[in-house]
Structure 1
Amino acid sequence: MERLAEVLVPARLGPGFRRLLASSWTSNLGDGVAAAAGPLLVASLDASPSVVALAATLRWTPPLLFGLGAGVLSDRLDRRRVAVAANCARLAVIGGLVAALATGTATVGLVLGALALVSTAEVFADSAARTLTPMLVRREDLPLANARLTTGFITLDQLAGPPIGAALFAAGRVWPFVGEAVLLTAAIALLARVVVPRVRPGGEGPDDGPLGGPDGGPDGAAPAASAADGRRSVRRDVAEGFVWTWRHPAVRTLALTILVFNVTFGAAWAVLVLYVHERLGLGAVGFGILSTVSAAGGLLGTGLYGWITRHVSLADVMRIGLVLETLTHLGLALTRSAVVAGTILFVFGAHAFVWGTTSTAVRQAAVPLRLQGRVDSVYTLAVFGGLVVGSAVGGALGERFGVTAPFWFAFGGSAVFLVLLWRELARIALRSAPAVPTG
């Protein structure tokens, strides 16, 4: 068991990261349970498509509304405490939902409100938690650490959690939310035990030495704000994150890339369920299987990530990934075979993992610790902004030109941007390539 633990989470990553990882994996499982149970609960109370769609909208909107503020908060305050407090707020809302379900007083309005509040609290929890990793591990271990975090997201949130949530819901509407509450409680307890060193491991990275200089915060969790900093406006702090992102060529390119590629991705995936039904001739079960296939591809990417980063340059990793994403849209636009579509989605899932992990490691290595939260929130804004715009475009194209039109749009848009971006990807690798993981 000890040898297995060393392989999965090497001791050099430190006890703080191990607790952070355990907390993340535990909450990932709870999130996966809720991902299936939430829509099922809404549909059981009101099967109207508009109401069910509203539940999804409420899940995606909070990062757009509160992401920037969450980034400022995590840069101003103790990041670990922010994450714990936000997760406690989530737990309180879930507890209220459990009580309403147990007493039979839950209404669709109450459920939708609870889902919105949980998603909002999750924005603040995730924003703060993501900035803890570069404070706990050495710069050269960032790719490995992020790979382990993403492993939990894929295996627990996307693969294991949803079927468990569906099974618990079949046993009783309240049980998946009881399970989520238990898992979140354990995740909070683990996160509360994380101790962040006042000096970054190895003394390396964008902010060498004590975090924030002599004003390092308690447990090094965040640089303590000076009196002058306390008088700074939130608007100024947000602007600083935008300005830094725009002036840093590598991070700016990453943000623009995820924005554009999420517009094209969002356009195609907005009609994926209709595509699966009308183009591939599959029902709800088939749609679920294809979603699982994509997550399984991500699991393969997890296993191969270390080998890929040792044998393929960072520029080529990013270029190949974006080529695969572009060809994914083309392949889905052309095929009518469920087997071919499943194979394409499997490869896409592997690409999505490798790209996401690499992008995160590059940003964490490049961004100063005092700006990690704000720059991460700018990037998150690009992620969800692209998805929202893309979904609107995909819906309009699908309505007017048919279910494959969004995939053709996604292919064309991705191809054009990839050509424009090709040389810049090499510059990203030269400017901010993290060291290759050794384990």
Structure 2
Amino acid sequence: MRALFAAPLGADFWKLWTSSAVTNLGDGITMVAGPLLVASITHNPAAVASAVFAQQLPWLLFALTSGAWADRVDRRRLVVAVNLLRAAALAALSAAVAFDVVTVPLVLAVFFLLGTGETLADTASAAVVRLVVPAAARPEANSLMYANFNVLNQFAAKPVGGWLFVVAAAVPFAVNAVTFVVSAALVLTVRAVSSPAPAPTPARRDLRGEIRAGVRWLWRHRLLRTLAVTMAVGNVVFCAAFAIFVLYAEQRLGLTEVGYGVLLVAFAVGGLLGTLVAPALIGRLDAAPLLRAGLLIEMALHATLAATRSPFAAAAMIVIFGIHTTVWGVVVTTIRQRDVPDAMYGRVTSVYSFLDLGGAALGSLLGGAVAVVYGLTATYWTAAVAMALVALVAWRPLRLATLRTPEPASTT
């Protein structure tokens, strides 16, 4: 993997990257094994769905608070502590499964703790990467971090998680516990990276005040505000469309369950290709044209799915979309790393996460409602029109996006 990127990233980055790799693999394994475990205890669909929701809920409840804490404490130690606590929770769950004393409330409680830890660890880790990687190498570094999610979490971990659960129901959770211990050990070897010492003023000791300061800073930065709102709306329409994707694949494309699974692989293929091409595209085209092209690709994805009955056309468009999502993520993350002050980085990042998950949750609710009233394709046509409007509104502000030279933050 290192040979694909020429920029010197440094030993500390590769420790963080390896830590991210093992946790993404472990998280992906648990993401598959968790619903399987609940389904083995009860056949209640609501209980099975709750296994996923329990891990997502903390992002809506604690994302902003976690960002404030990530700006208060030593971020490296925070990641280590949270990973060890998550390992302990998973070890307890694995033991409960092994001794056949596991219950649905226990599973949901552990998953809620895992999600809560994720809000802290992910926010703090994002801040650490910017401090150990030179600015010129950050597009490459961010591409590699996205590769962990695309390849390991979304692709490789899925069959591994299912296979491990078949071997023994306790094994997937034990494996994930080990990955968190390994991750903590790796992060511990990274040179100390602490958050800047805050001024001892009452405002800094006020958690709500700190959160409000982060939100205000983001809102006053025109480019980052545009990107945050665009992402939120994009997630609403994307999740609205893909909440019913399994029905779309069956009824519109005529796919079987196996075909549906293969179609989902197209997302991972696109994400991997995006990882490989993102640094070169950023170097050749810069940020503004890539972000604008991304909005057009999102519009084209929904329009294509609404219009086509060909699984091959749908898969091809999904691959292109997968490339776009990784390139978009790398560009936005790199801009954020450059423009956001270190003392504010955790809070600003947490606002993005809050909007991301909030948009996803709202979209999942809307998608089913639109499909029930107007039909499957109406959901995709609605999403295409919505993204066209987003592109029109965001097109001009996105001219500010560049990674060529460090520019002062816009505050208008």
Query: Taking structure 1 as the reference length, what is the TM-score of the superposition?
Result: 0.89
Given the alignment, which residue of 4, 21, 26 partners 2:17? 21
Q: Among 319, 322, 325, which residue is 1:346 paired with? A: 319
Moved more, 79-88 or 52-61: 52-61
2:236 corresponds to = 263
1:151 is matched by which residue type in structure 2?
A
One-letter amino acid of the structure 1 residue matched with residue 337 of structure 2: Q
Aligned to 1:163: 159
Structure 2 residue runs without a partner (length 5+): 408-412
> % of aligned pairs identical?
40
Counterpart of 1:402 in structure 2 is 375
Count of matched residue pairs: 407
Deviation of 1:38 after TM superposition, in Å, equals 1.4
Distance 1:64 1:142 in 2: 28
Conserved 8 A contact 2:271-2:323: yes
What is the match of residue 204 of structure 1? none
CA offset digits 1:154-176 (Å, max 9, x no partner): 11111111111111111121111
Within 5 Å, give how 1:12-161 maps onto structure 2. 12-161=8-157
Equivalent-residue separation in structure 1 for 2:193 and 2:45 (angstroms): 48
Offset, 1:118: 1.0
Is residue 269 of structure 2 the alignment partner of residue 273 of structure 1? no
Please give the alpha-carbon distance, in whole angstroms, between the structure 2 residues aligned to 1:141 and 1:29: 25
CA distance 1:429–1:49, change in 2 (3 Å): same
Matched AA of 2:253: L
For 1:121-163, what per-residue CA distance to the aligned partner results, in whole angstroms no more than 9, with x for missing partners?
1111111111101111111211111111111111111111111
Contact kept, 8 Å, 1:87 with 1:121, in 2: the verdict is: yes
Give the Å deviation of 1:310.
2.1
Aligned-partner Cα distance in 2 for 1:47–1:92: 28
The gaps in structure 1 that reach 5 residues or longer are 196-218, 435-439
The alpha carbon displacement at 1:252 in A equals: 0.7
**Match status 1:393 vs 2:366:** yes
C-alpha deviation, 1:11, in angstroms? 7.5
- Cα gap change, 1:291 to 1:329, in 2 (>3 Å): same
- How far apart are the structure 1 equivalents of 2:58 and 2:76? 21
By how many angstroms is 1:432 displaced?
7.7
CA deviations on 1:328-358 (whole Å, 9 max, x unpaired) are 0011111222222111211111111111111
For 1:111 and 1:432, locate their aligned partners in 2 and report how far apart those are by CA, in whole Å. 49
Q: Which of 272, 288, 295 matches 1:299?
A: 272
Q: 1:11 to 1:423 in 2, by over 3 A?
A: closer
Distance 2:78 2:403 in 1: 34
Aligned-pair CA distance for 1:230? 8.2
1:310 correspondence with 2:306 = no
Once structures 1 and 2 are overlaid, which stretch shifts more, 10-19 or 186-195?
A: 10-19
Q: Which moved more, 1:7-16 or 1:297-306?
A: 7-16
Q: Secondary structure at the match of 2:10?
A: helix
**CA shift for structure 1 position 431:** 9.9
TM (normalized to structure 2)? Answer: 0.94
Residue number in structure 1 paired with 2:410: none
Segment drifting more, 144-153 vs 284-293: 284-293
Q: Which runs of 4 or more aligned residues in structure 1 lie more than 3 Å from their structure 2 counterparts after TM superposition?
A: 8-11, 430-434
Task: Indicate conservation of the 8 Å contact 2:128/2:193, yes or no.
Answer: no
Distance 1:98 1:417, change over 3 A: same
Contact 1:9 1:18 in 2 (8 A): no
Q: Would you say 1:329 and 2:302 are equivalent positions?
A: yes
Q: Does 1:368 align with 2:334?
A: no
Q: Could you say what secondary structure the match of 2:297 adopts?
A: helix
Structure 1 residues 18 and 8: alpha-carbon distance in aligned structure 2, compared to 1, 3 A threshold: farther
- Distance (whole Å) between structure 1 residues aligned to residue 204 and residue 288 of structure 2: 42
8 Å CA contact retained: 2:274, 2:326: yes
CA offsets 1:106-129 (integer angstroms, 9 cap, x no match): 112211221121111111111111
Structure 2 contact 87–178 (Cα < 8 Å) conserved: no
Kindly indicate whether residue 408 of structure 2 is the aligned counterpart of residue 428 of structure 1. Answer: no
The secondary structure found in structure 1 opposite 2:254 is coil
For the aligned residue pairs, the C-alpha RMSD in angstroms reads 1.8
**C-alpha distance 47-347 of structure 1, shift in aligned 2 (>3 A):** farther
Contact 2:236 2:360 (C-alpha < 8 Å) held by counterparts = yes
Residues 1:378 and 1:55: Cα distance change in structure 2 (over 3 Å): same
Alignment match, 2:206: 233
1:52 to 1:284, Cα distance in 2 relative to 1, 3 A: farther
